[in-house]
Structures are given as C-alpha cells and as structure tokens.
Amino acid sequence: MAYEIKLDEETVQIELLETEGHVAEMMIDGRIYFLDIVEVEHGVYSILLDGISYNVELLPTENKKYLVNTLYNAFNIEIIDAETKYKNSRRKAEDEDLNFISTPMPGKVVKILVKEGDLVKGGETVIIVSAMKMESEYKVVKDRLITKVLVKEGDNIDGHQPLIMLE
C-alpha cells in the first residue's frame, strides 16, 4: 500500500514492496531502492545502500511525525495516512494564525510586558523568558489584542505551553 510522506516542504509517495532478510525493497515516487536496514540502537538505524553506510536517527516528535537526523542534515517527516489527511483538512483554517504565545523550550518567565485587554502593535515584545542564562524576547507578528495572561513573572514554564492568549 502506498503512503504519502511529507518531507519538510515536499510530499512524496512511498511504498514498501518486499522484504527479504533485512533488505527492504522500497519505492519513492517511482525510484526503487534496496535498503539494508537494521535498528542498532533504540531509534537509531544503520542503513547500507549500494554499499554506502548511513546512520539515521529518528526522534518521534508527535504521532506519525519524526525529526530525522543524518550526519549533516535534519528533516521533518510526517507519515500521512487516511486519518491524518482527514484531520489536516479540518484543521487548516484554525491553525493558520496561532492564538497564543509559547516558547520552544522550557524556561522561566522573566518579565511580562502586557496585561489583559492591551492592544499591542506587530513587532512589540509581550514577554521575556530566560532559559540557561540567556533571555529571549517573544513578540507578536501583527497587531493583536491580549485576551488572557496565563502565567506570571517568575513562573517556570514548559516548552510549547500557552503563555498569553491573543485575538
């Protein structure tokens, strides 16, 4: 059965044709590969392809999504099955513009520069978060209304946690 895979910005068709021993015959957009593939550590694969040795590390980020590291490159890969397709079609409209501010990593709130009800201009900093002795400023991209401030100064926060709700 062929699947779609989203590889960074592009979408490819992929299919596992046959397996024999630890060699998998696979097809991507019509290109056929005989991949000698072994999981040598948890999440780390050793690949031999026409003799060339690759070490590929997979970090599942969320359901059906991977961050894939090769020696010099990193790729974001998503397996698109029927369920994902359906969800994607529904989610599209909402996702376009995020309605909250969050950070990509855990840290500590240093300063909150807005309060509920504030109207802020695009490019203005709304919150400053420190992680590992470095402070980062988080700004709004467009003019927005602050609907709710969910944290206070001094709070420890997780990555991706909503901090300030916007409208």
Partner 1 sequence: MIKKILVANRGEIAIRIMRSCREMGIESVAVYSEADRTSMHVRFADEAYCIGPAPSNESYLVIDNIIAAAKKSGADAIHPGYGFLSENAKFSERCEKEGLIFIGPSPYAINTMGDKITARIKMQSANVPVVPGTIKPISDLKEAVDTIHQIGLPVMIKASAGGGGKGMRLVKNEEDIISSVSAAKSEAKAAFGNDAVYIEKYINSPHHIEFQIVADKHGNCVHLFERECSVQRRHQKVVEETPSPIMTEEVRREMGEHAVAAAKAVNYSGAGTIEFIVDDNLNYFFLEMNTRLQVEHPITERVVGVDLVKIQIDIANGKELPFKQEDLKQIGHAIEVRIYAEDPDNNFMPSPGTIRHITEPLGLGVRHDGYVYAGYEIPIYYDPMISKLIVWAPTRREAIDRMRRALHAYKITGIKTSIPFLNRIMEVPAFIEGKYNTHFIQDHEELLKPHTHASRRLKDVAAMTAFFDYLSKIETVKKNTFCKRPASNWKNTGRRNNLNRS
Query: Which residue, 71 or 93, is less far from partner 1 as judged by CB?
Result: 71
Give the nearest distance from C-beta 111 to partner 1 in angstroms: 16
Query: What's the CA gap between 67 and 59, in Å, rounded?
Result: 5
The one-character DSSP state at 115 is -
Give the nearest distance from C-beta 152 to partner 1 in angstroms: 16
Query: Which residue, 24 or 118, is less far from partner 1 as judged by CB?
Result: 24
Write phi, then psi, for 39 (nearest 5 degrees). Answer: -85, 110
Query: Which residue, 99 or 156, is less far from partner 1 as judged by CB?
Result: 156
Give the nearest distance from C-beta 35 to partner 1 in angstroms: 6
Query: Which residue, 54 or 119, is less far from partner 1 as judged by CB?
Result: 54
Q: Which residues contact 45 (CB under 8 A, 6 or more apart)?
A: 37, 38, 39, 55, 56, 57, 58
Query: Which residue, 143 or 158, is less far from partner 1 as judged by CB?
Result: 158
Query: What's the CA gap between 58 and 41, in Å, rounded?
Result: 11
Give the nearest distance from C-beta 122 to partner 1 in angstroms: 19
Give the nearest distance from C-beta 153 to partner 1 in angstroms: 14
- Write out the E strands in 2-158: 3-7, 10-20, 23-28, 31-41, 44-49, 52-62, 65-69, 74-80, 100-101, 107-112, 119-120, 125-131, 134-139, 144-149, 156-157
- Site residues (CB under 8 A) for partner 1? 3, 5, 7, 12, 14, 16, 19-24, 26, 28, 31, 33-59, 64, 66, 68-73, 75, 77, 79, 104-108, 131-134, 136, 156
